[in-house]
Amino acid sequence: MQWSNLFIPTLRETPAEAEVPSHRLLLRAGYIRQLSAGIYSYLFLAQRSLLKITAIVREEMDAIGGQEMLLPALHPAEIWQESGRWDVMGANLFRLKDRWQRDLCLGMTHEEVMTSIARGELRSYKQLPQIWYQIQTKFRDEPRPKSGLLRVRQFIMKDSYSFDLDAAGLDAAYDKHYKAYCRIFDRCGLKYSVVEADSGAMGGSQSHEFMVSADAGEDFIAICDACGYAANLEKAVSAASAPAAADPEGDLTPEAFHTPGRKTIAEVGEFTGLPQTSQMKSLVMNADGKLLLVMLRGDHQLSETKFAAATVAKEIRQANADEIREAFGADAGSLGPVDVKNLRILADTALEGRRNMISGANRDDYHFRHVTPGEDFKAEFRDLRQAAAGDGCASCGAPLALKKTIELGHIFKLGYKYSESMGLNVLTAEGGEVPVIMGSYGIGIERVLSCAIEQSHDKDGMALPAAIAPFAVVVTPVNANDPAQRKAAEEIYEGCRALGLDALLDDRDERPGVKFKDADLIGIPFRITVGKKLAQGMVEFVERRTRASVDVPVAEAAAAVRAKCP
């Protein structure tokens, strides 16, 4: 294509609203324009890139036997009510009414629709297994859209669903997806980690996330460089670091002492001269309306995900000040586990075996010293804390690192959640009726592009992987008014096209600086510059990422690009 005919609205300056690199560059490079908060128009360049990404996704999904469909974005409330998610999803679900005042919503995922198709049609084990997928626009009324295309209210997602007779079948479908996702992200030129994840509201037993490390991300993962263990921070298991000070020996009795105005762990630590690791943190939680006391080491943080899993509660939150006062007779800041009779107490495993620690005394402005978990109070010991940087890896003991990441893809073993709630059953060989076991697998298409930019950019712009760049190569005559340059550039451009390359001819009557800057900005991986060396029959072949430049004869330029592209 000829640049002079195209709509590529590059900006010299960064629009004020953009903060993260991918957002800045998508705007500056003329890929996207914002219509409203979290809602973007994808212009020519973005669309080309997204089409390349979806083509790769399609190829790999088809390769594992996936069958592409396209399902409605507009759903009747009934199917969401059946699965129970009409209520669970709350304000995140876009809801609307039709002219008859019937409730509808815009699909945020498609488990319900897929299951409703399957239950009408899948009747026999002989029809299993199935993998169905689609590439569809999804809608989520995010409380806080942000960071360009990273968190938006309308986005494209590849979602697939597997239907199997039994757990072994689900394992196989899950494994196929796992491998297909690796191939997809490899082909897209991304560096990523696969981590164990919480299956959360989706239900189900096993789940992995495909994460790209980036400062713009909003998820944390814990990762062990030594053995490869990696998990979402919500779920990561670790060996707690050693306490900073040894516990006092002996079978000591809790002893109250006055701590006027000392409420936080840090304040009590300063007051007692003891490190945070010698203290216990008492958190009061409300799980489905019941209060629980949670004990953690002073320097640890509660993982609400682990807590929710331990209590099997649907709704958890921190208890409010009134609830705390009523149950403990003291305010937060002076709470502790000693003599707590009527509440269930959960304690983190890092407290198991510790002795003679500090805790609140359930009396304002008093704490206890010499509190021994298991002796001075009874508790159920569970892994409840969030892993911290420097904790030991649970598998090999090497220190864990925390990384900020963007979630690109997520695969779930759903189990029977939807087949049971929505009545998707098949007959077995024995003639009995059993629910179908399902899996659900998503990829955020725009996030692939955003992550590629986050991973591959410099001060001049994007440096996209060739597989997903809107064009593979741009042919740039330095002086568009020089007939010889023009002719050579056109020949090379046609040569590239003949070799099946997506080529762009920068035929604009602009100064060379402008053309180079724009080419760098929009991230075309290769550039052929037709300039003064044309007199010797040579042109320059420049690689965007490395800036490496080699002179090649005009007749060989197209082939040189071809050799570098996937």
Does 19 sit near RNA (CB under 7 A)?
yes
* Neighbour tally for 478: CB within 10 Å: 20
Among 143, 260, 289, 431, binds RNA (CB under 7 A): 143
Does 356 sit near RNA (CB under 7 A)?
no
Does 157 sit near RNA (CB under 7 A)?
yes
**Are 360 and 334 within 8 A, CB to CB?**
yes
Does 311 sit near RNA (CB under 7 A)?
no
Within 13 Å and on the Cβ side, how many CA atoms surround 265? 18
Does 5 sit near RNA (CB under 7 A)?
no
CB of 562 to RNA, least distance (A): 21
Taking the least distance from each CB to RNA, the nearer of 351 and 542 is 542
Which region, judged by CB under 7 A, interacts with RNA, from 253-261, 270-278, 326-334, 477-485?
Answer: 477-485
Does 147 sit near RNA (CB under 7 A)?
yes
- φ, ψ at 471 (rounded to 5°): -135, 150
Helix axes 557-564, 483-498, angle to 10 degrees: 40
Does 196 sit near RNA (CB under 7 A)?
no
How far apart are the C-alpha atoms of 247 and 350, rounded to whole Å? 13
Distances (CA, A) of 252 to 353, 372, 381, 402: 14, 8, 21, 38
CB of 435 to RNA, least distance (A): 20
The dihedral through the CA atoms of 123, 125, 126, 129 has a sign that is positive
Tell me the CA end-to-end span of the chain in Å, nearest whole number: 20
CB of 101 to RNA, least distance (A): 24
Which region, judged by CB under 7 A, interacts with RNA, from 163-171, 391-399, 409-417, 495-503?
Answer: 409-417
Which region, judged by CB under 7 A, interacts with RNA, from 19-27, 129-137, 180-188, 393-401?
Answer: 19-27
Among 129, 243, 439, 444, binds RNA (CB under 7 A): 444
Helix residue ranges per DSSP H, 363-511:
417-422, 445-455, 483-498
Q: Detail the DSSP E strand segments found in 214-350.
A: 219-223, 230-232, 238-239, 255-258, 280-287, 290-297, 316-318, 344-348
Which region, judged by CB under 7 A, interacts with RNA, from 120-128, 172-180, 267-275, 407-415?
Answer: 407-415
Does 446 sit near RNA (CB under 7 A)?
no
Cis-peptide into 254, omega within 30 deg: no
Does 405 sit near RNA (CB under 7 A)?
no
Per DSSP, the residues of 116-142 read HHHHHH--BGGG--EEEEEEEEEE---
The dihedral through the CA atoms of 279, 284, 285, 290 has a sign that is positive
Which region, judged by CB under 7 A, interacts with RNA, from 61-69, 120-128, 129-137, 525-533?
Answer: 525-533
CB of 158 to RNA, least distance (A): 10
Taking the least distance from each CB to RNA, the nearer of 9 and 399 is 9
Provide Rg for the chain, Cα atoms: 29
Taking the least distance from each CB to RNA, the nearer of 340 and 346 is 346
Taking the least distance from each CB to RNA, the nearer of 259 and 450 is 450
**Are 179 and 147 within 8 A, CB to CB?**
no
CB of 510 to RNA, least distance (A): 7
Interface characters, 215-234, with RNA (x: CB under 7 A): ---x----------------
Q: Helix, strand or coil for residue 215? A: coil
User: Which one-letter amino acid corresponds to residue 394?
Assistant: A
Taking the least distance from each CB to RNA, the nearer of 53 and 478 is 478
Among 80, 516, 526, 541, binds RNA (CB under 7 A): 516
CB of 44 to RNA, least distance (A): 16
Taking the least distance from each CB to RNA, the nearer of 82 and 166 is 82
Among 2, 4, 14, 81, binds RNA (CB under 7 A): 14
Backbone torsion region of residue 223, taken as left when φ is above 0, otherwise alpha when ψ lies between -120 and 50, otherwise beta: beta
How far apart are the C-alpha atoms of 61 and 101, rounded to whole Å? 39
Site for RNA, rule CB under 7 A? 10-17, 19-20, 23, 28, 34, 36-38, 92, 109, 142-147, 157, 200-202, 218, 304, 407, 409-410, 412, 442, 444, 460, 478-479, 481, 509, 511-514, 516-518, 520-521, 529-534, 540, 542
